[in-house]
Amino acid sequence: MSVAAIDCGTNSTRLLIADDAGRVLRREMRITRLGEDVDATGTLADAALQRNFDVLTQYATYMREAHVTRSRLVATSAARDAANGAFFLERAAEITGARVALLSGHEEAQLSLRGATADLPDVEAPTMILDIGGGSTEMAAMVNGELLAFSMQLGCVRVTERATGVGILTPAARERANDMIAAELQRAWSQVPGFEGLVGNVRVVGLAGMVATLSQLVAGVAEYDRERVHHQRLTLSNVVEWCERLGREEPAARLRFPGMVAGREDVLPAGLLILESVMLRCAVGEILSSENDILDGLAATMVTDVDDEP
């Protein structure tokens, strides 16, 4: 048996194919920007839909070649916020043949936590996953058998469109973004009181493309190298330094830095502002990057035949 997991996020569309022992057969990522302008219009644009359908058609070919026997496709923030999200899921199911689901922020955080922590060594402190996406940011931790989770209505695309813009990061733009982020962090801490108990005593694991791109920039890796990115330690100084460095440049100029992923150059500074704020709120000086995330959690539910998973 082989399984396929597809994550249709706000900024990227990703595929994981694994065998029945959980061994990864194929990973793919394409920048598709499904959530382009959805924050302003409330709908998924025709061009964004077509970009995603084209990539899903390609992924369907990979799935046939791998003789996939079970598949799931999930959509997250952009589809949750769009009036035509149901149409997107219907067409995605037709293209891929996968079982589709529109995840809530809580479900997204739960699957991400499962995927990211499966290969981590145990430590005394609780582990919080931080998944900075395009339209939302998920935080989740398991503490004394209780899942603490919250989905903030901000991500690198949403903060860029609402606050920073895509050009040089001006002091005024930074202030707007930080105000927006601070408000959502306060909402998270208010609605999940257990988060306060993690401050200063938590291992934070950063997921998804934004953190992976930062890892590549810090390592100076021009071409993606999973071994150089997975479980790399990133300090608060790394975050601040790269936010400042990239913020001084126009997006096109940011592409000259080894490790910058095309398609993230316009939104990465906003993502770094989110990361900096969360690290300060949690009182941590470093995070651990992880290339295992919601896709791995989703694949695990299929491999183990847990049908009641989200």
Residue 74 belongs to a domain with what CATH number?
A: 3.30.420.40
Residue 110 belongs to some domain of the structure:
no
Report the domain count for the chain.
2
Q: Looking at residues 53-70, what average pLDDT do you find?
A: 97
Do 283 and 135 share a structural domain?
yes
Tens digits of residue pLDDT in 205-256: 999 889 999 999 999 998 888 888 889 999 999 999 999 999 999 999 999 9
Residue 111 belongs to some domain of the structure:
no
* C-alpha–C-alpha distance, residues 134 and 293, integer Å: 15
Helix ranges restricted to H, the chain: 38-41, 46-65, 77-81, 85-96, 105-117, 156-159, 171-191, 208-219, 226-229, 236-247, 251-254, 268-282, 294-303
Q: Are 117 and 94 in contact (CB under 8 A)?
A: no
- Confidence bin at 310 (pLDDT 50/70/90): very low
Residue 107 belongs to some domain of the structure:
no
Q: Are 10 and 135 in contact (CB under 8 A)?
A: yes
Tens digits of residue pLDDT in 155-183: 999 999 999 999 999 999 999 999 999 99
Amino acid, res. 291: E
Do 152 and 72 share a structural domain?
no
Do 145 and 30 share a structural domain?
no
Q: Are 208 and 132 in contact (CB under 8 A)?
A: yes
Q: Measured between alpha carbons, how far is residue 53 from residues 12, 13, 50, 59, 119 in Å? A: 12, 10, 5, 10, 32
19-32: b (≥16 Cβ within 10 Å) or e: eeeeeeebeebbbb
Do 133 and 8 share a structural domain?
no
Do 223 and 179 share a structural domain?
yes
- Confidence bin at 60 (pLDDT 50/70/90): very high
Residue 37 phi/psi, 5-degree rounding, is 65, 5
Q: Give the pLDDT score at 190.
A: 97
Strands 286-289 and 137-143: unpaired
Residue 310 belongs to some domain of the structure:
no
Residue 65 belongs to some domain of the structure:
yes
Tell me if residue 23 falls in helix, strand or coil: coil
Do 78 and 140 share a structural domain?
no
Tell me if residue 176 falls in helix, strand or coil: helix
Do 188 and 70 share a structural domain?
no
- In this predicted structure, the answer to whether residue 97 has a pLDDT above a threshold of 80 is yes
- Confidence bin at 21 (pLDDT 50/70/90): confident
Q: Give the pLDDT score at 305.
A: 56
Do 87 and 29 share a structural domain?
yes
pTM equals: 0.86
Domain range holding 65? 2-102
- In this predicted structure, the answer to whether residue 23 has a pLDDT above a threshold of 60 is yes
Residue 28 belongs to some domain of the structure:
yes
* C-alpha–C-alpha distance, residues 165 and 267, integer Å: 9
Tens digits of residue pLDDT in 269-303: 999 999 999 999 999 999 999 999 999 999 988 88
* C-alpha–C-alpha distance, residues 221 and 85, integer Å: 36
Do 143 and 10 share a structural domain?
no
Closest CA to 259 of 224, 226, 285, 296: 224
